[in-house]
Amino acid sequence: MSISYRQPGVVLTDRRFTVPLDHADPGGESIELYAREVVAGDKAGGELPWLLYLQGGPGFGANRFVGRQAWLDRALDEYRVLLLDQRGTGSSTPATRQTLPQRGGPAAQADYLAHFRADSIVRDCEAVRAEVTGGAPWTVLGQSFGGFCTVSYLSLAPEGLDTALITGGLPSLDAHADDVYRAAYPRIERKVAAHYARYPQDIERARRIADHLLTHDVVLPNGYRLTVEAFQSLGLMLGSGDGSHRLHHLLADAFVRTPAGHELADAFQEQVQNLLSFAGHPLYALVHESIYGQDARPTAWAAERVRAEFPRFDAAKTLAGDEPLLFTGETIHPWMFETDPALRPLRETAELLAARADWSPLYDRNRLAANEVPVAAAVYHDDMYVDAGHSLRTARAIRGLRTWVTDEYEHDGLRSGAPRVLDRLLAVVRDEV
């Protein structure tokens, strides 16, 4: 039964759908998907076109807005919006350290999680669309990984799309995970250099924290073991519009004087554990590199292997000299399954996924070259998470796609730009600019 309720300016309806775990076996096991339907309060009874929102990730449920926040405000001017928790996320059937053991051992868990990539998500969307719109095509808005899913949608089921809107999520159509990270580490280094140029005092602060972690065994209150590599991974923050400022404030109050000398402050530790823990989104760590798997080559911990090609990210070598410590970015490493208590039970499962060598293609170049769906994509010119060069090559491969290339926003432009980014994409796709 669907339940409707109100928030300021909107009417929401909780929706639940049953879909096959494996769409190639529709009579087999099923899982549940959860979504929130949102409509402007003064349009609740009207006939409106549908907009499906696909969240970034992988592994995150859709935004939990209150009222008409951020881009949703603009969307509700003309759409009825469906905020879908992609399989395994949010209030959909979960996939975590607590639930995955029901599948069996690590091999069974890895086989199960192999069904949690963009191709399965697209087929989920098509099953949901048949129930929600009665078969009418809808507009899809894909942020980051949601954009990857949207390109898969254009490849696998373009008949389900009226319009496709993509923000920070045009993937390479053929790059292996190794290629993705070889392009990523130089971008990450540029973001770190820009941070230190803005906040030069953070050079010494970051080195001091890293040195402390190299000489002390620090376990955070939730059981997370804070190594220097884990500290470096806070650089993930630098890919968002306000991330540099938030990182600066975090570093400023790292230490407190105690009777035993200087120690990492409880407040610092609490913030860090909240930033680093995968307890709320373990799928992000488990299947992240698999979103780049499209052939018989395993991803094989690509970010970890490729990092070795960039020795400037080695903290111990950096601290032996006088160079600034480099943070890292959107990279997943095997040590995360040792430091994070939410991931430790899943280490063997993650190893099996990293070794998997039978990934199917996620994109169809021929179908994209013949695309007839109106598509607009925002490309952030030095996006730390998604390589702009890869995105622009993909844009040229999708017939009729129009890009808006901007340096006004970082990867989270859809959120930080409030209604402006969505408004611009709609204008682009409608030939109004």
Please identify which of the residues 25, 217, 322, 358 carries the catalytic annotation: 358
Q: What's at 113, amino acid-wise?
A: L
Q: What share of the chain is helix, strand, coil (3-state, %, to 5)?
A: 45, 15, 40
Catalytic residue among 195, 281, 333, 411: 411
- With a CB cutoff of 8 Å and minimum separation 6, the contacts of 156 are 119, 122, 123, 364
Catalytic residue among 144, 233, 240, 277: 144
358 labelled catalytic? yes
What's the start-to-end Cα distance of the chain, in Å?
43
- Distance between CA atoms of residues 424 and 126, nearest Å: 27
Please name which of 236, 264, 233 lies closest in space to residue 251, comparing C-alpha atoms: 264
Q: Alpha-carbon distance 30 to 298, whole Å? A: 27
Token pair in block for residue 366: 């021929």
DSSP structure class, residue 361: P
Q: Quick check: is 411 catalytic?
A: yes
Q: What is the dihedral of CA 326, 330, 335, 340, to 10 degrees?
A: 110
Pair 226, 218: CB distance under 8 Å: yes
The Cα–Cα gap between 89 and 55 comes to 10
Active-site residues, by number, are: 144, 358, 411
